[in-house]
Amino acid sequence: MYNIVKCFRKLVSVVLMFSLMTSVCFAQDKQNDEDSLKIQKIIADMKNESANFISEYHTEDILLAKILRDAHIAAIPYGVNLETVNNIEKFYIDLQIQIADLKGDFSSLSKKQIADTVILSTSLFNDAECISGYSVLDALLGSENVNKIKQEGINSVCAAFTAYTCHDKYSKKSQIEQKQLLEFILNYDYDNMLDITPALIAVNNVENTTEIQNWKQNILNKIVNFYKEDGWSTQRIANVVSCALILGIDIDNDSRFIKQGQTIIDTLYENVQSDNIKQRQYVEDVLPAFVYYQTKQNPYDYGNYNLKQNNNQITTEVYQYLLNKSDISKHWSKQNFINMILNGGIDYNYTTEKNIFPDKSITRGEFIYIISKIKNIENNSEQIFSDINSSIYKNEINSFMKEYITTKFISSSEKQAFLNLYFKENFRPDDAITREEAAFFIKCASGYANKLQSDSTENLKKFSDYKNCDEKYSDMLEFCVRRGFISGRNGKLLPKETLTRAEAVTLITNFNAYTLHN
- CATH number for the domain spanning 130: value is 1.50.10
Rounded Cα gap, residues 264 and 169, in angstroms: 37
pLDDT at 90: 93
Query: Among candidates 386, 385, 346, 393, which has minimal Cα distance to 365?
Result: 393
- Return the beta strands (E) in 388-485 as ranges: none
Question: Looking at the structure, do residues 135 and 275 belong to the same domain, yes or no?
Answer: yes
Is residue 252 a contact partner of residue 263, using CB atoms and an 8 Å limit? yes
311, part of any domain: no
Q: What are phi and psi of 231, to 5 degrees?
A: 75, 30
pLDDT at 80: 63
Is residue 360 a contact partner of residue 501, using CB atoms and an 8 Å limit? yes
The SS3 call for residue 339 is: helix
**Which residues form the domain of 180?**
2-99+106-295
Question: Looking at the structure, do residues 291 and 366 belong to the same domain, yes or no?
Answer: no
Distances (CA, A) of 76 to 31, 38, 91, 252: 19, 12, 22, 22
Spell out the long-range contacts of 369-373 with Cβ–Cβ below 8 A and sequence spacing 24 or more. Answer: 369/393, 369/396, 370/340, 370/345, 370/346, 370/504, 370/505, 370/508, 371/400, 371/441, 371/442, 371/445, 371/508, 372/396, 372/399, 372/400, 373/308, 373/344, 373/345, 373/346
Ranges of residues in the chain whose predicted pLDDT is under 50: 1-8, 11-12, 14-30
pLDDT at 452: 60
44, part of any domain: yes
Distances (CA, A) of 144 to 98, 111, 177: 24, 12, 10
Question: Looking at the structure, do residues 382 and 269 belong to the same domain, yes or no?
Answer: no
pLDDT at 455: 58
Question: Looking at the structure, do residues 90 and 202 belong to the same domain, yes or no?
Answer: yes
223, part of any domain: yes
Provide the CA 145 distance to its chain's centre, in angstroms: 29
Amino acid letter, 129? E
CA dihedral over 56, 61, 64, 65, signed as positive or negative: positive
- The CA-based angle 181-207-155, given to 5 degrees, is 30
Is residue 205 a contact partner of residue 298, using CB atoms and an 8 Å limit? yes
The SS3 call for residue 443 is: helix
353, part of any domain: no
The SS3 call for residue 135 is: coil
Looking at 264, 295, 326, the residue that finishes a domain is: 295
Rounded Cα gap, residues 354 and 348, in angstroms: 8
Angle between helices 111-123 and 83-102 (to 10 degrees): 130
336, part of any domain: no
Is residue 165 a contact partner of residue 137, using CB atoms and an 8 Å limit? no
Q: How far apart are the first and last CA of the chain?
A: 65
331, part of any domain: no
pLDDT at 15: 43
Length of the chain: 518
Distances (CA, A) of 127 to 18, 103, 119, 170, 305: 54, 17, 10, 10, 10
Looking at 295, 326, 341, the residue that finishes a domain is: 295
Question: Looking at the structure, do residues 120 and 238 belong to the same domain, yes or no?
Answer: yes
What is the DSSP code (8-state) at residue 385?
Answer: -
Which helix (H) or strand (E) element contains residue 263? strand 262-263
- The pLDDT tens digits for 246-264 are 999 999 999 999 998 999 9
pLDDT at 327: 95
Question: Looking at the structure, do residues 257 and 371 belong to the same domain, yes or no?
Answer: no
Rounded Cα gap, residues 48 and 151, in angstroms: 36
160, part of any domain: yes
Question: Looking at the structure, do residues 393 and 271 belong to the same domain, yes or no?
Answer: no
Provide the CB-side half-sphere exposure for 324 (13 A, CA): 6
The SS3 call for residue 489 is: strand
Question: Looking at the structure, do residues 276 and 399 belong to the same domain, yes or no?
Answer: no
Q: How many domains does the chain have?
A: 2
Question: Looking at the structure, do residues 266 and 392 belong to the same domain, yes or no?
Answer: no
Provide the CB-side half-sphere exposure for 474 (13 A, CA): 18
Provide the CB-side half-sphere exposure for 70 (13 A, CA): 30
Provide the CA 359 distance to its chain's centre, in angstroms: 32
Neighbour count for residue 427 (Cβ, 10 Å): 24
Looking at 246, 274, 295, the residue that finishes a domain is: 295
- The CA-based angle 136-285-298, given to 5 degrees, is 60
Question: Looking at the structure, do residues 488 and 400 belong to the same domain, yes or no?
Answer: yes
325, part of any domain: no
Distances (CA, A) of 34 to 28, 142, 376, 430, 456: 10, 50, 36, 56, 41
Angle between helices 234-246 and 193-203 (to 10 degrees): 30
- Burial of 197-230, coded b for 16+ CB within 10 Å and e otherwise, reads bbbbbbbbbeeeeeebeebbeebbeebeebbeee
Is residue 240 a contact partner of residue 264, using CB atoms and an 8 Å limit? yes
Angle between helices 364-374 and 435-445 (to 10 degrees): 30
Is residue 245 a contact partner of residue 263, using CB atoms and an 8 Å limit? no
